[in-house]
Amino acid sequence: MLEVRIFHTREAMGKEAAINVSDSIQRLLKQKEEINMIFAAAPSQSDFMKELIADKAIEWNRINAFHMDEYIGLEKEASQGFGNFLKRNLFDHVPLKSVHLINGQADDPEEECKRYSKLLEQHTVDIVCLGIGENGHIAFNDPPVADFKDPKQVKVVELDMPCRQQQVNENLFTGIDLVPTHAITITIPGLLRGGEMFCMVPALNKAEAVNHTLNGEISEACPASILRTKKGAILYLDRDSASLLETEEA
């Protein structure tokens, strides 16, 4: 059920993904007054977001924005915070109807999970824009904590070492000891409740995760593998992230 599209460059990938998301937004806004979207915060999304911002056909004032995860315990203004990343790369550039951020500084993270879950209950998610981690995670559902039948929509998780090391490898933190150990994330069932899913995964460091996602067992050992069961999901790859696959470029 998961559609896979491969492009020569990550720029071409981001452009096509933005066109498709824009088309979906415009189609949905013909059917309802406003829509709700979840965005991922990661360098893998930057090309896509740049193109999306430039699209003048999108009526941003009819879109409510959410994000899928946030570190616990970072300073409020820390550049690595996912809410702050999305502000810099998307939210501050377009006139959204509303933006709902996860508060990673909340005194009670469990209560924050309940608050955000309630918001998601009140705003049926129409579109999810996401990526895949080196360990196959979607949002911060790393293999040790991923649950395809999770009863919660939002939960506190402990981040596994490969996930934390990826943040260092991508120069988001200067050392592993600086990467938070816990985060708040939308769960896998919470993400799959989204009507349409657009997954952008460029770069060579994601090739193994992409191969496991598409060719391995559908299991929590590679959380992203669940995308193969989702109707209306599209996976966008560049030639590097698709380098272990036997497929052709779009």
| Model pLDDT for residues 78-93, shown as the tens digit of each residue | 999 999 999 999 999 9
Q: What is the C-alpha to C-alpha distance for residues 147 and 138, in angstroms, rounded to an integer?
A: 11
Q: What is the C-alpha to C-alpha distance for residues 77 and 214, in angstroms, rounded to an integer?
A: 37
pLDDT at residue 247 in the model: 63
The secondary structure of residue 193, as a DSSP letter, is T
pLDDT above 70 covers a percentage of the chain that reads 98
Residue closest to 40 by CA, chosen among 5, 66, 76, 72 = 66
pLDDT at residue 232 in the model: 87
Q: What is the C-alpha to C-alpha distance for residues 105 and 31, in angstroms, rounded to an integer?
A: 37
Please report which helix (H) or strand (E) contains residue 153, including its range: none
What are the sequence ranges of the domains in the chain?
3-238
Would the pLDDT of 248 be above 60?
no
Please report which helix (H) or strand (E) contains residue 182, including its range: strand 182-186
State the average pLDDT for the chain: 96
pLDDT at residue 246 in the model: 79
Q: What is the C-alpha to C-alpha distance for residues 51 and 30, in angstroms, rounded to an integer?
A: 22
The highest-level CATH class for domain 3-238 is alpha beta
Q: What is the band of 1 on the pLDDT scale with cuts at 50, 70, 90?
A: confident
Q: What is the mean pLDDT of residues 231-249?
A: 89
Q: Amino acid identity of 173? A: F
Q: What is the C-alpha to C-alpha distance for residues 224 and 226, in angstroms, rounded to an integer?
A: 5
pLDDT at residue 30 in the model: 98
Task: State the DSSP string of 102-126.
Answer: --TT-S-HHHHHHHHHHHHHHS---
What is the model's pTM? Answer: 0.96
pLDDT at residue 10 in the model: 97
Q: What share of the chain is helix, strand, coil (3-state, %, to 5)?
A: 40, 20, 40
* Structure token digits, residue 56: 């003048």
pLDDT single digits (tens) 104-122: 999 999 999 999 999 999 9
